[in-house]
Structure 1
Amino acid sequence: MNHKTITNWSGDMMFEATVPGGKIKFDADVEVGGQDGGVRPKPTMLSALAGCTGMDVVSLLKKMRAEVSAFRVEVDGNLTEEHPKFYDKVTVRYFFKGEDLKKDKIEKAVDLSVNRYCGVFEMFRSFAKVTHEIVYE
């Protein structure tokens, strides 16, 4: 399967990307010539990681019949100081809420996403130390 995106410059530091499923506007901070009218490319990568692993976990939990009332993924990335700046350390935190949580199934779903299914997780591992943790609220 091949994915293709098309990204057009809209002036100043603004770009609009057409990706499978929609559009994304990218822009920079005002102090570096942008107009603060869109998301930043690097943090968007962290969101892609959260979305990929989150979709895996939700799908797996549904198959395992392990219900949760709320679920979120938070991703923190440490950006290097030298150019080219990139994330060298990334932490993924999975937060679950619910009555009678089936922790064994939740942990299995997260493990399967982290180590088998999430391609974005695998991509991040090629350039960053990636850790994860599960938090029950």
Structure 2
Amino acid sequence: MGATNQITTKWLGKMAFESNNPSGLNLTIDAGPEDGGEGRGFRPKALMLSGLAGCSGLDIAMLIGKMKLDVRDFKIDITANLTDEHPKYYDKVTVAFHFHGDKLDEKKLKRAVDLSVDKYCGVMEMFRRFAEVKIETNFHHE
């Protein structure tokens, strides 16, 4: 049996919750005013996208270091389509990686993205279980 993660999420009243994390940091989850909340926290479905970007981003940052690649800046944009019917879930997700720099090794950066997407990122694998995931890799030579 593999490792287990455990979190506790406590209701703060109205539509707000506080959730802990193995890092020791807490985050607040809240609905927007249109759903009876005060908009003072993260939205659960959007948090899933942050988890996906963060998971893959950590892989790639590690690989950039190991491969000694020269990258000035790096960001991940995710666009996700929600189904119309309840329960609403992401059925199509596009993950766009953007690398900026004046000495980008496109071949090695593409390899880093592929390793994350196909081998290392567990959150990516979870998403593939319920969504069509499309990957885009963009190089901005500056």
Q: TM-score range by the shorter chain?
A: over 0.9
How many residue pairs were aligned? Answer: 137
Q: Does 1:16 align with 2:18?
A: yes
Structure 2: tracts of 5 or more residues without a match: none
Residue 110 of structure 1: aligned partner: 113
Distance between the aligned counterparts of 2:54 and 2:87, measured in 1? 25
Matches within 5 A, 1:1-137: 1-21=3-23, 22-137=25-140
In the TM superposition, residue 110 of structure 1 has moved relative to its aligned partner by 0.2
Structure 1: tracts of 5 or more residues without a match: none
Percent of residue pairs identical: 47
Q: TM-score, normalised by structure 2?
A: 0.94
Q: Which consecutive segments of 4 or more residues in structure 1 shift more than 6 A?
A: none
Q: Superposition RMSD on alpha carbons, in Å? A: 0.7
Q: TM-score, normalised by structure 1?
A: 0.98
In the TM superposition, residue 99 of structure 1 has moved relative to its aligned partner by 1.4
Deviations 1:86-126 (A, max 9, x none): 00000000000111111111000000000000000000000
